[in-house]
Structure 1
Amino acid sequence: MSGQAADSFDYVVVGSGAAGAIVAARLGEDAALRICVLEAGPPDHRPYLKLPAGFIKVIFNPAVAWQFSSEPTERTGGRRIPLPQGKTLGGSTSINGLVYNRGQREDFDGWAAQGNAGWSYDEVLPYFQRSEHFVDGGDPALRGHNGPLKVSLPHWPHPICEAFLEGAAEQGMARNPDYNGAYQKGVGYFQRSIHNGWRMSTVSCFLRPAVRRGNLDVRTHAQALRILVEGGRACGVEYLQDGVRRQVMARREVVVSAGAINTPKLLQLSGIGDGERLRALGIATQVHLPGVGQHLKDHFSVRLVASVKNATTINELARVPRLWGQAWQWLRGKPNILQLSPSVVHWFAASQPGLERPDLQGVFSPASYREGYVGQLDVFPGMTCGVWQHRPQSMGTVQLASADPLADPVVQPRYLAEEGDRQTLIRGVRQARALLQSQALAPYRVDEVMPGPQVQSDDEILDFIYRYGVSSYHLNGTARMGPRPEAGAVVDAQLRVHGLQGLRVIDASVMPEITSANTCAATMMIGEKGADLLRRAG
């Protein structure tokens, strides 16, 4: 995918994911500008990258996803937790679970309150609206209806989903038709970046149309090795393509949009990070920024499973010969499992009385996966109710393992390190269990399979969480935004790297705090706002 092949551009963007593709596309709206995009992975030609149900085929495929993992701890049962990240055009928007979830107003007001002017909810709302086209209505004062990204509800009727919603009402949870609207609390169907049975990635919605203008050069299989710095200014990027080291220069700015793991890795390889750590690896320090790679946060989730009777679940529909029928339904544009995201129903709730806003997010689907990993379906009919804590206090790090740019960094999220996080998730598991045991679900429920009725005490539930909890793939914060680098900030409110000219970070790394949501929608918003900041700077 190429508009021209020059080695000098106005902007060089590293990464084509949720933010990077949008940054490049929006900059490309100015025909006088020339932009180069470097993507470490291949083009997004594989059919499974287009089909929503292809999620389970691609997320653990090293050809299109970085197969990072966390360091093991006692609170993950000694396990390495898989942390796949997109490695293809569109980045993680080409492999993720497709949920569109902005977060809560208070998340962004909190960002602004930390000294990040321009990032309050009212100020970022127009950027959410600019990207999206919510095809199922919504308040026009809060939702977007003219953006490139189609967002839709599933429109896939299933008796178990409806029974779950009725059971949630038994627990006092009200139906919320639009959790991206005025408030988040309640239950309902997830909004997804899916339209007419196809995945809506940032490459299909933003980047590919922009390339047709002729002023974008998108280079695939191009892994960034380091940012080139001269006289205190970022001036280009060295990258590896086809086994050859190459350089591309930026006349205006370099933009790093490589994600919460690869962005701090690239900054550190370029001498931007903790000077003492860099010297120990033999890397010359360009800017001493000890916050690079710090403050890593993620949502640690756990799933409860029950076996099912009296209904056909996705577990059976995903196997031949029924799968052939689902494919035929997809071709006819009728409801089918191939156009579903892994999670169908949402629930947002408070973990205990007295909380003003939800601190739990739950997911439900008439399907179950082996040992809680969304990758391989169980062989029996099942349903899943999962939960994670919205705003964990536990945080970790991303640090170089060596000066070798092709080596994976050491990723340590320190899941559940804080006692408050452990207690919140225990309460979340109890809520999820109560939802699965509702009277409305009784006609369909056989037995609780995970964790099983023998697990009852807090200690037993926590042990279950340790052994089966997984990442929600919502990593962020490793180049966080803030006014003071001595307090751990890496970029300012304009997303400029402190202490260096001509370099910005525009991706989930800059989040000062994790959102009360899946992070993809907020990352796209960061891309939209980041593009405006670049254009205003000239």
Structure 2
Amino acid sequence: MSRHPDVIVVGAGGAGAPFAARISEDPGRSVLVLEAGPVPRAPGDFPADVLDATALPTVNGPGPHSWWYRSEVSPGRDYDVGRGQGAGGSTAVNGAYFVRPRITDLRRWAAAGNPAWAPERVLPVLARLERDVQFGDAPGHGGSGPVPVDRRAFAPSPLAAAFAEAASAQGHRALPDLNDVHVGSGHGDLPLNVQDGMRMNTGLTYLLPALGRPNLTVQGGSRVLRVLISGGRATGVEVESGGRVHRISAGEVVLAAGAVRSPHLLMLSGLGPADDLTAAGVRPVVDSPGVGASCSDHPDITVLAPLSQPLRPGGRDPLFSWALNWSAEGSPGQAEGTGGLEVLPMLRPFPVLAGAAEGSELPVIVALQGPSGRGRLSLDPVDPRQGPRVHYRHLESMVDRRRMREGVRTAVDLLSSDQLGPWVDTAAWDRSVFEEDAPLDAWMSDHLGTAVHLSGTAPMGPESAPGTVTDQCGRVHGVQGLRVVDTSILPDVPSRGPAATAVLLGEHLADLMLGTGG
């Protein structure tokens, strides 16, 4: 590989690995992937907890395949956030939840001046990337793509079945396919990117099969420090690798480092709000006020109910296998595709994540899937090279608090149902805090977290639109030869967890770059 590749891709995660694999299918295009974490060269080289779909490596703290940053979910409430690094990124360390964005998401993003994201352009890409075990032959699905999608990846869970029965008894409809993008409300078995008990991250599904190409080089342990910009054009990167800092030139630079690190690199390279950059000691190159200015994530809260019998410890039970979603579409003043809620029970003990004593409480996560609130990501003015500061500003709006109350109360109703009776000790559970709005709001403030689904830190849209950072193809406004390819560019967070959307971003933006998109 020449030290002057045609394209440098920064990051080999959920979007970066698919993007690099797809653009390197062109043998005339040399591609260099620089990844801060490790890049295993065979499936067996991944650590056991990364491959094990029942594990959740990020909860164990920083390590070779994970990194953490400090954030503030609401004023005065600090929160540690873990993300994946290395081949596969967060798809290598998450809960293997692989649910598509809704068609309302695609319509909303397209309506923001991004016609390439209209459903008719995107749905064929979603079908192409998947190998759906249950619906691969059904219209709108795919059966031969790189990512396995399975709703029966593990043995049926009696606890999940009880939640399903309770949800149906309370008027929620059962759905055979939570990846039907046209359906906003209902409950069913979660699509998981799991095969033979393995979490099939994008390092496994995209990067490893492409490593034999002579025009593709993937280099782990390489932390990019900034993008080099000259004469209004990205000319390469400055990278730290093997204990030294050096520069690599390229025809084009693509940031696929995730919704925290990609905007951080933009800022360190001089692209961002000029006053903020100057205050942090970074010389502005392009005054781009939208970088980090209006990001969004899914606020979440874990409801804990006392158990009357211990959940089965260990074994091969997944952490998640069933979900309930419902939306607020049609409510007065409610934008299409916003305001949705999700109830996601944990099906086995996970005290580190849930904050519960081992085997004593049943945790259920409630997430607001379409928040109206927006957060901010900014440089640390004392040491800008350190991780940026993220202020989520969750539940600041009355609309979001009202919707989250509804979600929490729905979870409490499910946990109090006859169907959950064999597991929940309702007699020992004081549910009075959930009855009145004021005490419930105070309780929510004390238990508020974030789903770690950050989006919109470099949103796409026409250059003339205020606050946009890239165009619909990920090209950065004001600098030639520079793109962003990850959830940073989404105008707002998808209505479901973003792992499938990240893979879609890599696939679709590669199509748009190569000129092969529909």
Where on the TM-score scale, by shorter chain, does this alignment land: which range?
over 0.9
Relative distance call for 1:32 and 1:58 in structure 2 (3 A) is farther
User: Equivalent residue for 1:419?
Assistant: 398
Structure 2 counterparts to residues 314-393 of structure 1, below 5 A? 316-318=312-314, 326=315, 336-337=316-317, 340=318, 342-350=319-327, 354=331, 359-370=340-351, 374=353, 378-393=357-372
Structure 2 counterparts to residues 250-265 of structure 1, below 5 A? 250-251=250-251, 253-265=252-264
Q: Distance in 2 between matches of 1:33 and 1:363?
A: 43
User: Equivalent residue for 1:512?
Assistant: 491
Is the Cα–Cα contact under 8 Å of residues 103 and 515 in structure 1 kept in the other structure? yes
2:116 pairs, out of 104, 114, 118, with 118
Is the Cα–Cα contact under 8 Å of residues 296 and 397 in structure 1 kept in the other structure? yes
Q: Distance in 1 between matches of 2:118 and 2:429?
A: 40
Aligned amino acid, residue 301 of structure 1: D
Q: Which runs of 5+ in 2 are unaligned?
A: 41-45
1:461 matched to 2:440? yes
Q: Distance in 2 between matches of 1:169 and 1:133?
A: 29
Provide Cα deviations, 1:28-74, integer angstroms capped at 9, x if missing partner.
11122211111111235322111112214666334322211213644
1:51 matched to 2:49? no
Please state whether the residue corresponding to 2:250 is helix, strand or coil. Answer: strand
Is the Cα–Cα contact under 8 Å of residues 73 and 394 in structure 2 kept in the other structure? no
Is the Cα–Cα contact under 8 Å of residues 367 and 382 in structure 1 kept in the other structure? no
Provide Cα deviations, 1:343-377, integer angstroms capped at 9, x if missing partner.
2210012469858877111112333544xx62676
Provide Cα deviations, 1:428-484, integer angstroms capped at 9, x if missing partner.
111111111112222332138888544431122222211112111100100000113
User: Equivalent residue for 2:192?
Assistant: 192
Is the Cα–Cα contact under 8 Å of residues 388 and 428 in structure 1 kept in the other structure? yes
Shift of 1:126: 1.3
User: Equivalent residue for 2:78?
Assistant: 80
Please state whether the residue corresponding to 2:413 is helix, strand or coil. Answer: helix
Relative distance call for 1:416 and 1:266 in structure 2 (3 A) is same
Structure 2 counterparts to residues 199-278 of structure 1, below 5 A? 199-251=199-251, 253-278=252-277
Relative distance call for 1:291 and 1:387 in structure 2 (3 A) is same
User: Equivalent residue for 2:30?
Assistant: 34
1:290 matched to 2:267? no
Is the Cα–Cα contact under 8 Å of residues 351 and 427 in structure 1 kept in the other structure? no
Moved more, 153-162 or 24-33: 153-162
Shift of 1:485: 5.2
Aligned amino acid, residue 458 of structure 2: A
TM-score, with structure 1 as normaliser: 0.89
Please state whether the residue corresponding to 1:432 is helix, strand or coil. Answer: helix
Q: Distance in 1 between matches of 2:421 and 2:354?
A: 27
User: Equivalent residue for 2:462?
Assistant: 483
User: Equivalent residue for 2:98?
Assistant: 100
Structure 2 counterparts to residues 60-75 of structure 1, below 5 A? 60-71=61-72, 73-74=74-75
Aligned amino acid, residue 50 of structure 2: L
Please state whether the residue corresponding to 1:209 is helix, strand or coil. Answer: helix
Provide Cα deviations, 1:408-437, integer angstroms capped at 9, x if missing partner.
111111111211111110111111111111
Is the Cα–Cα contact under 8 Å of residues 73 and 392 in structure 2 kept in the other structure? no
Moved more, 238-247 or 262-271: 238-247
Q: Distance in 1 between matches of 2:175 and 2:151?
A: 13
1:170 matched to 2:169? yes
Provide Cα deviations, 1:203-234, integer angstroms capped at 9, x if missing partner.
00001111112321111111111101121111
Provide Cα deviations, 1:86-144, integer angstroms capped at 9, x if missing partner.
12111111111110111211111011111111111221111111211111225632112
Shift of 1:502: 0.5
How many residues are matched? 506
Relative distance call for 1:300 and 1:518 in structure 2 (3 A) is same
Please state whether the residue corresponding to 1:52 is helix, strand or coil. Answer: coil
Q: Distance in 2 between matches of 1:295 and 1:450?
A: 39
Q: Distance in 1 between matches of 2:353 and 2:464?
A: 38
Please state whether the residue corresponding to 1:247 is helix, strand or coil. Answer: strand
Is the Cα–Cα contact under 8 Å of residues 58 and 83 in structure 2 kept in the other structure? no
Q: Distance in 2 between matches of 1:388 and 1:375?
A: 14
User: What is the percent sequence identity of the aligned residues?
Assistant: 33
Aligned amino acid, residue 168 of structure 1: A
Is the Cα–Cα contact under 8 Å of residues 234 and 254 in structure 1 kept in the other structure? yes
Shift of 1:164: 1.4
Is the Cα–Cα contact under 8 Å of residues 50 and 57 in structure 2 kept in the other structure? no
Q: Distance in 2 between matches of 1:420 and 1:166?
A: 30
Provide Cα deviations, 1:309-345, integer angstroms capped at 9, x if missing partner.
46x62xx422xxxxxxx3xxxxxxxxx22xx2x2221
Aligned amino acid, residue 136 of structure 1: Q
Q: Distance in 2 between matches of 1:391 and 1:351?
A: 9
Q: Distance in 1 between matches of 2:206 and 2:135?
A: 22
Aligned amino acid, residue 229 of structure 1: I
User: Equivalent residue for 1:443?
Assistant: 422
Q: Which runs of 5+ in 1 are unaligned?
A: 319-325, 327-335
Please state whether the residue corresponding to 2:62 is helix, strand or coil. Answer: coil
Is the Cα–Cα contact under 8 Å of residues 304 and 451 in structure 1 kept in the other structure? no
Q: Distance in 2 between matches of 1:11 and 1:254?
A: 6
Please state whether the residue corresponding to 2:19 is helix, strand or coil. Answer: helix
Structure 2 counterparts to residues 6-21 of structure 1, below 5 A? 6-21=2-17
Q: Distance in 2 between matches of 1:46 and 1:81?
A: 27
Relative distance call for 1:489 and 1:454 in structure 2 (3 A) is closer
Q: Distance in 2 between matches of 1:284 and 1:348?
A: 45
Relative distance call for 1:167 and 1:278 in structure 2 (3 A) is same
Q: Distance in 2 between matches of 1:449 and 1:81?
A: 30
User: Equivalent residue for 1:330?
Assistant: none
1:535 matched to 2:518? no
Is the Cα–Cα contact under 8 Å of residues 68 and 82 in structure 2 kept in the other structure? yes
Is the Cα–Cα contact under 8 Å of residues 269 and 403 in structure 1 kept in the other structure? no
Is the Cα–Cα contact under 8 Å of residues 305 and 450 in structure 1 kept in the other structure? no
Aligned-residue CA RMSD in angstroms? 2.3
Is the Cα–Cα contact under 8 Å of residues 304 and 356 in structure 2 kept in the other structure? no
Aligned amino acid, residue 67 of structure 1: W
